[in-house]
Amino acid sequence: MNARVHPTAVVAAGARIAADVEIGPYSVIGDKVEIGEGTWIGSHVVLDGSLRIGRRNKIFHFASLGAAPQDKKYAGEDTRVEIGDGNTIREYVTINRGTAQDVGVTRLGNDNWLMAYVHLAHDCQVGSNTVFANCTQLAGHVTIEDWAILGGFSAVHQHVRIGAHAFTGMGSAMSQDVPPYVTAAPFGLNSNGLKRRGFSEQAMSELKRAYRTLYRSGLTLEKAKQELEAQAVSSPEVRVLLDFVVASKRGIIR
C-alpha cells in the first residue's frame, strides 16, 4: 500500500487501498475495508466492517461508513456495505451494514450526492445519480431508484420505495411508495426534472396523461391500473410507471 496516508490516521493491516488514495488526519480504516483508485478520505472519517468503496469517491470529514446496523436483531453476522464510483459523501453521513434478515448488504450506486447528516440504514438499496439533501433519513430496507432527488429533512419509512426521477420536497415524510416521475409534497409530475434530463415532449405528454389518470381522474387504483395498461402500449415511460405501481407492496402515495 502506497496510499497517501496522514501520519495520524489508523489503517488496519488487512485494508486493501489503491495506491493513489488519500486519507486525512485521524481517520480510522478497518481490516475488511477496500478502497478504489482516486478516492479521497477527509479527516476523522471511520470506515468499518466489510466495506467496499469504488473509485473516485469523495468522503468528507466525520462520516461513518460500514458500522453495525442499528437493529436489535443484529448478532454480529458478516454483512456489508458496497459503494460504487464517483460519489460525494459529505460531513457526518452514516451508512450502516446490512442484516441477515434481508439481502445482507447496504448498497450505494454511482455518482450520487449525499449532503451533510444523511443516514442510510441497514439493507437500503440506492441507485445512481441521486441527490440527498441535508438530513435526509432512510430507515431500513428502503429502495431509492436512479435520478431520484430527496429534499432536506426528508424521512423515508422502512420498506418504502422511491421511483426513478421522483422528487420529494423539503420535510417530506414517506410511509408509502413514491412512483417514478412524480413529486411528493408538493404533489405533481416532476416536469422540470424530466426536462433537464432530456425527456421528449411526447414522453412528457404521455406521462402527464398517466399522472392525471392515476391521481386526478377519481378512479380507484385498480381502475386506474387498467387505464394505464392501455396507455403503456405506446409509451415505455408509462410502462415503467405502471410496473412500479403494480409491484408496490406498501401502496403508493395518492
Catalytic residue among 44, 119, 122, 141: 122
140 a catalytic residue = yes
76 a catalytic residue = no
Q: Is 19 exposed, middle or buried (0-12, 13-18, 19+ CB in 10 A)?
A: exposed
Residue 144: phi and psi, rounded to 5, are -120, 120
CA distance 126 to 20: 27
Q: Within the chain, where are the H helices?
A: 191-196, 201-211, 221-232, 236-247
Catalytic residue among 54, 140, 152, 163: 140
123 a catalytic residue = yes
Q: Which residues contact 156 (CB under 8 A, 6 or more apart)?
A: 136, 137, 138, 139, 142, 144, 150, 162, 174
Q: Which of 51, 146, 56 is nearest to 95 (CA)?
A: 51
Catalytic residue among 48, 71, 102, 123: 123
| Residues belonging to the active site | 122-123, 140
